Amino acid sequence: MNSPAPTRARISIIGAGPGGLTCARILQRRGITVTVYERDPGPDARNQGGTLDLHADNGQIALREAGLLDEFFALARPEGQEMRQMDPTGTITSHQVPQPDELFKPEIDRGQLRRLLLDSVQPGTVQWGRGLDKISGPADGPRRLHFTDGTSVETDLVIGADGASSRVRPAVSPAVPGYTGVSFLEAWFTDVDNRHPDIAELVGQGSAHAADGERALFAQRNSGNHIRVYIIQRVPVDWIGASGLTTEDTDGIRALLLGEYAHWSPRMRRMITENDGPYVDRPIFALPVPHTWEHNPTVTLLGDAAHLMPPLGVGVNLAMLDAGELALALANAATVADAVRTYEKTMLARSIETARALEGRAEDLLSAEVPDFGGDDAQPQGPGTE
Protein backbone atom coordinates (compact mmCIF):
# COMPACT_ATOMS: atom_id res chain seq x y z
CA MET A 1 0.00 0.00 0.00
CA ASN A 2 1.28 3.49 -0.85
CA SER A 3 1.61 5.73 2.18
CA PRO A 4 -1.05 8.47 2.08
CA ALA A 5 -0.49 12.18 2.41
CA PRO A 6 -1.02 13.30 6.03
CA THR A 7 -3.88 15.58 5.02
CA ARG A 8 -5.75 12.57 3.62
CA ALA A 9 -4.69 10.02 6.22
CA ARG A 10 -6.72 8.58 9.05
CA ILE A 11 -4.52 9.40 12.05
CA SER A 12 -5.24 7.77 15.42
CA ILE A 13 -3.58 8.77 18.69
CA ILE A 14 -3.86 6.30 21.55
CA GLY A 15 -3.84 8.10 24.90
CA ALA A 16 -5.21 11.49 25.98
CA GLY A 17 -2.31 12.50 28.19
CA PRO A 18 -0.16 15.61 27.63
CA GLY A 19 1.79 13.98 24.79
CA GLY A 20 -1.22 12.73 22.85
CA LEU A 21 -3.23 15.90 23.31
CA THR A 22 -0.30 18.15 22.37
CA CYS A 23 0.14 16.19 19.16
CA ALA A 24 -3.58 16.42 18.38
CA ARG A 25 -3.71 20.16 19.06
CA ILE A 26 -0.76 20.96 16.78
CA LEU A 27 -2.04 18.69 14.01
CA GLN A 28 -5.41 20.43 14.09
CA ARG A 29 -3.74 23.85 13.98
CA ARG A 30 -2.01 22.65 10.81
CA GLY A 31 -5.30 21.50 9.25
CA ILE A 32 -4.79 17.77 9.78
CA THR A 33 -7.65 15.63 11.06
CA VAL A 34 -6.93 13.37 14.02
CA THR A 35 -8.83 11.22 16.53
CA VAL A 36 -7.65 10.50 20.07
CA TYR A 37 -8.76 7.26 21.74
CA GLU A 38 -8.63 7.16 25.54
CA ARG A 39 -9.43 4.24 27.82
CA ASP A 40 -10.75 6.44 30.66
CA PRO A 41 -14.55 6.83 30.57
CA GLY A 42 -14.23 10.60 30.87
CA PRO A 43 -11.85 13.47 31.62
CA ASP A 44 -12.48 13.32 35.38
CA ALA A 45 -12.38 9.53 35.76
CA ARG A 46 -9.17 9.51 37.83
CA ASN A 47 -6.63 11.77 39.44
CA GLN A 48 -3.96 12.82 36.96
CA GLY A 49 -1.07 12.87 39.45
CA GLY A 50 0.94 15.66 41.01
CA THR A 51 2.86 18.64 39.72
CA LEU A 52 5.50 18.87 37.02
CA ASP A 53 7.90 21.45 35.66
CA LEU A 54 7.74 22.36 31.98
CA HIS A 55 11.14 23.42 30.64
CA ALA A 56 11.76 26.28 28.25
CA ASP A 57 13.89 24.05 26.02
CA ASN A 58 11.37 21.25 25.46
CA GLY A 59 7.88 21.30 27.02
CA GLN A 60 7.41 25.03 26.51
CA ILE A 61 8.56 24.74 22.88
CA ALA A 62 5.67 22.37 22.23
CA LEU A 63 3.19 24.64 24.00
CA ARG A 64 4.36 27.57 21.91
CA GLU A 65 3.76 25.58 18.73
CA ALA A 66 0.34 24.66 20.13
CA GLY A 67 -0.45 28.34 20.68
CA LEU A 68 -0.94 27.77 24.41
CA LEU A 69 2.15 29.28 26.04
CA ASP A 70 0.38 32.35 27.42
CA GLU A 71 -2.40 30.21 28.87
CA PHE A 72 0.22 27.96 30.43
CA PHE A 73 1.99 30.86 32.13
CA ALA A 74 -1.36 32.09 33.48
CA LEU A 75 -1.78 28.74 35.28
CA ALA A 76 1.86 27.95 36.13
CA ARG A 77 3.58 28.57 39.45
CA PRO A 78 7.06 30.09 38.98
CA GLU A 79 7.53 29.98 42.76
CA GLY A 80 7.30 26.21 42.47
CA GLN A 81 10.87 26.19 41.15
CA GLU A 82 12.09 26.55 44.74
CA MET A 83 14.07 23.44 45.80
CA ARG A 84 15.11 22.54 49.35
CA GLN A 85 17.59 19.78 50.13
CA MET A 86 17.43 18.61 53.76
CA ASP A 87 18.93 15.98 56.01
CA PRO A 88 16.81 13.49 58.00
CA THR A 89 16.53 15.98 60.86
CA GLY A 90 14.85 18.54 58.62
CA THR A 91 17.85 20.86 58.51
CA ILE A 92 18.17 22.59 55.14
CA THR A 93 21.53 21.82 53.54
CA SER A 94 20.91 23.41 50.13
CA HIS A 95 18.29 25.91 49.05
CA GLN A 96 17.52 27.08 45.50
CA VAL A 97 15.16 30.06 45.29
CA PRO A 98 14.00 31.24 41.84
CA GLN A 99 14.27 34.84 40.78
CA PRO A 100 10.90 36.66 40.58
CA ASP A 101 11.00 36.67 36.77
CA GLU A 102 12.44 33.17 36.30
CA LEU A 103 10.31 31.13 33.90
CA PHE A 104 12.70 28.38 32.79
CA LYS A 105 10.76 25.54 34.43
CA PRO A 106 7.67 26.73 36.34
CA GLU A 107 5.41 24.13 37.90
CA ILE A 108 1.89 23.21 36.85
CA ASP A 109 -0.43 20.49 38.12
CA ARG A 110 -0.80 17.60 35.71
CA GLY A 111 -4.57 17.90 35.87
CA GLN A 112 -4.43 21.60 34.98
CA LEU A 113 -2.15 20.92 32.03
CA ARG A 114 -4.43 18.16 30.75
CA ARG A 115 -7.50 20.38 31.05
CA LEU A 116 -5.72 23.19 29.17
CA LEU A 117 -4.92 20.79 26.35
CA LEU A 118 -8.36 19.15 26.33
CA ASP A 119 -10.06 22.51 26.04
CA SER A 120 -7.82 23.41 23.09
CA VAL A 121 -8.73 20.53 20.77
CA GLN A 122 -11.85 20.46 18.62
CA PRO A 123 -15.02 19.02 20.19
CA GLY A 124 -15.26 15.28 19.63
CA THR A 125 -11.52 14.84 19.10
CA VAL A 126 -11.23 12.56 22.13
CA GLN A 127 -13.29 9.37 22.17
CA TRP A 128 -13.58 8.31 25.81
CA GLY A 129 -13.95 4.75 27.04
CA ARG A 130 -12.00 3.34 24.08
CA GLY A 131 -9.27 1.19 25.60
CA LEU A 132 -7.02 -0.39 22.98
CA ASP A 133 -6.81 -4.17 23.03
CA LYS A 134 -4.60 -4.87 20.01
CA ILE A 135 -3.53 -3.71 16.56
CA SER A 136 -3.90 -5.88 13.45
CA GLY A 137 -3.30 -5.44 9.76
CA PRO A 138 -0.20 -5.35 7.53
CA ALA A 139 2.82 -3.23 8.44
CA ASP A 140 2.30 -1.03 5.38
CA GLY A 141 -1.35 -0.50 6.29
CA PRO A 142 -4.11 0.02 6.68
CA ARG A 143 -4.14 -0.95 10.36
CA ARG A 144 -7.12 -1.98 12.44
CA LEU A 145 -7.51 -0.91 16.05
CA HIS A 146 -9.39 -3.39 18.23
CA PHE A 147 -10.87 -1.92 21.42
CA THR A 148 -11.81 -3.59 24.68
CA ASP A 149 -15.48 -2.76 24.10
CA GLY A 150 -15.51 -5.05 21.05
CA THR A 151 -15.46 -2.29 18.43
CA SER A 152 -12.74 -1.67 15.84
CA VAL A 153 -11.70 1.04 13.39
CA GLU A 154 -9.38 1.19 10.40
CA THR A 155 -6.56 3.73 10.38
CA ASP A 156 -3.49 4.76 8.39
CA LEU A 157 -1.25 5.81 11.30
CA VAL A 158 -1.27 4.72 14.94
CA ILE A 159 0.54 7.03 17.38
CA GLY A 160 1.18 5.36 20.72
CA ALA A 161 0.98 8.03 23.41
CA ASP A 162 -0.32 5.57 25.98
CA GLY A 163 2.45 5.63 28.54
CA ALA A 164 4.48 3.04 30.39
CA SER A 165 2.09 0.13 29.79
CA SER A 166 1.58 0.99 26.13
CA ARG A 167 -0.65 -1.33 24.11
CA VAL A 168 0.76 0.16 20.92
CA ARG A 169 4.42 -0.60 21.69
CA PRO A 170 4.18 -4.36 20.89
CA ALA A 171 3.38 -3.48 17.28
CA VAL A 172 6.93 -2.18 16.82
CA SER A 173 8.98 -3.47 19.76
CA PRO A 174 9.07 -6.50 22.09
CA ALA A 175 10.60 -4.41 24.89
CA VAL A 176 8.83 -4.26 28.25
CA PRO A 177 9.64 -1.96 31.19
CA GLY A 178 11.71 -3.42 34.02
CA TYR A 179 11.58 -2.54 37.70
CA THR A 180 14.36 -0.14 38.73
CA GLY A 181 14.55 -1.41 42.31
CA VAL A 182 13.23 1.90 43.64
CA SER A 183 9.62 2.47 44.63
CA PHE A 184 7.58 5.59 45.42
CA LEU A 185 4.72 5.54 47.90
CA GLU A 186 2.58 8.63 47.44
CA ALA A 187 0.92 10.45 50.34
CA TRP A 188 -1.51 13.37 50.00
CA PHE A 189 -1.95 16.39 52.26
CA THR A 190 -4.88 18.77 51.75
CA ASP A 191 -5.49 22.34 52.97
CA VAL A 192 -1.90 22.26 54.17
CA ASP A 193 -1.54 25.85 55.36
CA ASN A 194 -4.42 25.32 57.78
CA ARG A 195 -4.38 21.57 58.55
CA HIS A 196 -0.65 20.82 58.19
CA PRO A 197 1.16 24.15 58.76
CA ASP A 198 4.39 22.52 59.96
CA ILE A 199 4.66 20.42 56.80
CA ALA A 200 3.76 23.45 54.67
CA GLU A 201 6.56 25.42 56.30
CA LEU A 202 8.99 22.54 55.89
CA VAL A 203 8.30 22.14 52.16
CA GLY A 204 7.99 25.80 51.18
CA GLN A 205 6.52 26.88 47.84
CA GLY A 206 8.25 24.29 45.69
CA SER A 207 9.87 20.95 46.47
CA ALA A 208 11.85 19.48 49.35
CA HIS A 209 14.03 16.35 49.39
CA ALA A 210 15.81 14.44 52.15
CA ALA A 211 17.61 11.09 52.07
CA ASP A 212 19.89 8.88 54.16
CA GLY A 213 21.33 6.56 51.50
CA GLU A 214 18.64 3.87 51.80
CA ARG A 215 15.40 5.81 51.88
CA ALA A 216 14.16 9.31 51.08
CA LEU A 217 11.24 11.71 51.24
CA PHE A 218 10.41 14.01 48.35
CA ALA A 219 7.62 16.55 48.84
CA GLN A 220 6.02 18.83 46.25
CA ARG A 221 3.69 21.76 46.67
CA ASN A 222 0.70 21.50 44.31
CA SER A 223 -1.92 24.13 43.52
CA GLY A 224 -5.03 24.43 45.65
CA ASN A 225 -3.07 24.31 48.94
CA HIS A 226 -2.10 20.64 48.45
CA ILE A 227 1.19 18.83 49.02
CA ARG A 228 2.16 15.39 47.75
CA VAL A 229 4.91 13.47 49.47
CA TYR A 230 6.73 10.57 47.83
CA ILE A 231 8.20 8.06 50.28
CA ILE A 232 11.10 6.57 48.32
CA GLN A 233 12.72 3.24 49.16
CA ARG A 234 14.95 0.57 47.65
CA VAL A 235 12.54 -2.37 48.05
CA PRO A 236 11.22 -5.39 46.11
CA VAL A 237 8.45 -4.47 43.71
CA ASP A 238 5.95 -6.47 45.81
CA TRP A 239 7.15 -5.19 49.18
CA ILE A 240 3.67 -4.34 50.46
CA GLY A 241 2.24 -7.79 49.75
CA ALA A 242 5.43 -9.48 50.97
CA SER A 243 4.89 -7.72 54.29
CA GLY A 244 1.41 -9.25 54.57
CA LEU A 245 -0.33 -5.97 53.76
CA THR A 246 -2.47 -4.48 51.00
CA THR A 247 -2.46 -0.94 49.68
CA GLU A 248 -5.72 -0.34 51.56
CA ASP A 249 -4.08 -1.14 54.91
CA THR A 250 -3.01 2.43 55.65
CA ASP A 251 -2.33 1.85 59.35
CA GLY A 252 -0.26 -1.26 58.67
CA ILE A 253 1.84 0.45 56.00
CA ARG A 254 2.32 3.47 58.22
CA ALA A 255 3.58 1.32 61.08
CA LEU A 256 6.00 -0.41 58.74
CA LEU A 257 7.29 2.90 57.43
CA LEU A 258 7.74 4.36 60.88
CA GLY A 259 10.05 1.47 61.65
CA GLU A 260 12.07 2.14 58.50
CA TYR A 261 12.29 5.87 59.25
CA ALA A 262 12.71 5.50 63.02
CA HIS A 263 15.98 7.45 63.08
CA TRP A 264 14.48 10.43 61.22
CA SER A 265 13.27 13.42 63.23
CA PRO A 266 9.65 13.53 64.44
CA ARG A 267 9.09 16.59 62.26
CA MET A 268 10.15 14.72 59.12
CA ARG A 269 8.13 11.65 60.06
CA ARG A 270 4.97 13.76 60.00
CA MET A 271 5.15 13.43 56.24
CA ILE A 272 4.53 9.70 56.83
CA THR A 273 2.00 9.85 59.66
CA GLU A 274 -0.28 12.82 58.89
CA ASN A 275 -1.34 12.11 55.31
CA ASP A 276 -5.00 12.48 54.37
CA GLY A 277 -6.28 9.19 52.99
CA PRO A 278 -4.53 6.04 51.78
CA TYR A 279 -1.09 5.71 50.25
CA VAL A 280 -0.62 5.12 46.51
CA ASP A 281 1.95 2.51 45.48
CA ARG A 282 4.07 3.70 42.54
CA PRO A 283 7.00 1.35 41.77
CA ILE A 284 9.38 2.92 39.26
CA PHE A 285 9.88 1.13 35.95
CA ALA A 286 12.07 1.97 32.95
CA LEU A 287 12.51 0.63 29.44
CA PRO A 288 15.78 -1.05 28.44
CA VAL A 289 18.53 1.29 27.25
CA PRO A 290 18.81 1.82 24.35
CA HIS A 291 15.25 1.28 23.20
CA THR A 292 14.76 1.47 19.45
CA TRP A 293 12.85 -0.29 16.70
CA GLU A 294 12.80 -0.72 12.94
CA HIS A 295 10.91 1.95 11.03
CA ASN A 296 7.25 1.11 10.54
CA PRO A 297 5.26 3.41 8.20
CA THR A 298 1.99 2.95 10.08
CA VAL A 299 2.94 2.88 13.79
CA THR A 300 5.11 5.11 15.95
CA LEU A 301 5.50 6.00 19.63
CA LEU A 302 6.05 9.08 21.74
CA GLY A 303 6.74 9.84 25.39
CA ASP A 304 6.86 7.01 27.92
CA ALA A 305 5.57 4.55 25.34
CA ALA A 306 8.83 5.16 23.45
CA HIS A 307 11.33 5.91 26.22
CA LEU A 308 10.13 5.30 29.77
CA MET A 309 12.79 6.65 32.19
CA PRO A 310 13.05 7.33 35.95
CA PRO A 311 10.91 10.33 37.04
CA LEU A 312 13.69 12.90 37.07
CA GLY A 313 11.96 15.77 35.30
CA VAL A 314 12.11 14.73 31.65
CA GLY A 315 9.07 12.48 31.14
CA VAL A 316 6.29 14.90 30.22
CA ASN A 317 8.74 17.42 28.78
CA LEU A 318 10.08 14.87 26.30
CA ALA A 319 6.59 13.55 25.55
CA MET A 320 5.41 17.02 24.58
CA LEU A 321 8.56 17.74 22.57
CA ASP A 322 8.08 14.41 20.78
CA ALA A 323 4.45 15.31 20.11
CA GLY A 324 5.30 18.69 18.64
CA GLU A 325 8.02 17.30 16.41
CA LEU A 326 5.83 14.46 15.15
CA ALA A 327 2.96 16.82 14.39
CA LEU A 328 5.23 19.20 12.48
CA ALA A 329 6.81 16.30 10.59
CA LEU A 330 3.33 15.22 9.49
CA ALA A 331 2.42 18.77 8.52
CA ASN A 332 5.53 19.16 6.35
CA ALA A 333 5.92 15.70 4.75
CA ALA A 334 4.57 14.37 1.47
CA THR A 335 3.55 11.05 3.03
CA VAL A 336 2.87 9.63 6.47
CA ALA A 337 5.79 7.22 6.08
CA ASP A 338 8.20 10.07 5.32
CA ALA A 339 6.95 11.98 8.37
CA VAL A 340 7.40 9.01 10.70
CA ARG A 341 10.92 8.40 9.43
CA THR A 342 11.89 12.06 9.87
CA TYR A 343 10.41 12.20 13.37
CA GLU A 344 11.99 8.97 14.60
CA LYS A 345 15.44 9.91 13.33
CA THR A 346 15.52 12.85 15.74
CA MET A 347 13.42 11.42 18.56
CA LEU A 348 15.24 8.09 18.92
CA ALA A 349 18.68 9.71 18.96
CA ARG A 350 17.59 12.18 21.62
CA SER A 351 15.79 9.63 23.78
CA ILE A 352 18.71 7.17 23.68
CA GLU A 353 21.13 9.89 24.76
CA THR A 354 18.85 11.01 27.60
CA ALA A 355 18.03 7.46 28.72
CA ARG A 356 21.72 6.60 28.92
CA ALA A 357 22.34 9.69 31.04
CA LEU A 358 19.49 8.74 33.41
CA GLU A 359 20.03 4.97 33.50
CA GLY A 360 20.22 3.93 37.16
CA ARG A 361 19.64 7.51 38.30
CA ALA A 362 16.57 6.60 40.38
CA GLU A 363 19.15 5.59 42.98
CA ASP A 364 20.22 9.25 43.20
CA LEU A 365 17.01 10.02 45.04
CA LEU A 366 18.24 7.85 47.92
CA SER A 367 21.66 9.45 48.16
CA ALA A 368 22.61 11.18 51.40
CA GLU A 369 24.90 13.39 49.32
CA VAL A 370 23.26 16.32 47.60
CA PRO A 371 22.15 15.03 44.17
CA ASP A 372 22.55 17.29 41.14
CA PHE A 373 18.98 18.51 41.09
CA GLY A 374 19.93 21.76 39.39
CA GLY A 375 20.42 20.39 35.87
CA ASP A 376 17.65 20.15 33.31
CA ASP A 377 17.83 16.36 33.33
CA ALA A 378 17.93 15.81 37.08
CA GLN A 379 14.99 17.60 38.69
CA PRO A 380 12.87 14.96 40.40
CA GLN A 381 9.13 14.95 39.95
CA GLY A 382 6.39 12.67 41.09
CA PRO A 383 5.26 9.96 38.70
CA GLY A 384 1.98 10.39 36.91
CA THR A 385 0.10 9.54 33.76
CA GLU A 386 1.29 10.60 30.37
Q: What is the pLDDT of residue 385?
A: 41
Pair type for strands 157-160 and 299-301: parallel
Q: What is the pLDDT of residue 378?
A: 41
Dump pLDDT digits (tens) for 268-327.
999 999 999 999 999 999 999 999 999 999 999 999 999 999 988 789 999 999 999 999
Amino acid identity, position 75: L
Q: Is 292 domain-assigned?
A: yes
Task: Count Cβ atoms below 10 Å from residue 288 Cβ, excluding itself.
Answer: 14
Q: Is 116 domain-assigned?
A: yes
Dump pLDDT digits (tens) for 240-254.
999 999 999 999 999
Q: Is 46 domain-assigned?
A: yes
Q: What is the pLDDT of residue 87?
A: 96
User: Total structural domains in the chain?
Assistant: 1
Find the CATH number of the domain harbouring 345: 3.50.50.60
List Cβ<8 Å contacts ≥24 apart for 135-143: 135/167, 135/168, 135/170, 135/171, 135/299, 137/298, 138/1, 139/296, 139/297, 139/298, 139/299, 140/1, 140/3, 140/297, 140/298, 141/1, 141/3, 141/297, 141/298, 142/1, 142/10, 142/298, 143/298, 143/299
Q: Is 155 domain-assigned?
A: yes
Q: What is the pLDDT of residue 44?
A: 85
Q: Is 271 domain-assigned?
A: no
Q: What is the pLDDT of residue 381?
A: 54
Q: What is the pLDDT of residue 375?
A: 38
Half-sphere exposure of 296 (CA within 13 A, CB side): 24
Residue 170 burial (C-beta neighbours within 10 Å; 0-12, 13-18, 19+) = middle
pTM for this entry: 0.94
Residue 150 burial (C-beta neighbours within 10 Å; 0-12, 13-18, 19+) = exposed
CA-CA distance, 129 to 228, in Å (whole number)?
Answer: 28
Q: Domain of 345?
A: 6-79+108-176+287-361
Q: Is 99 domain-assigned?
A: no
For the chain, list residues with pLDDT below 50.
373-379, 384-386
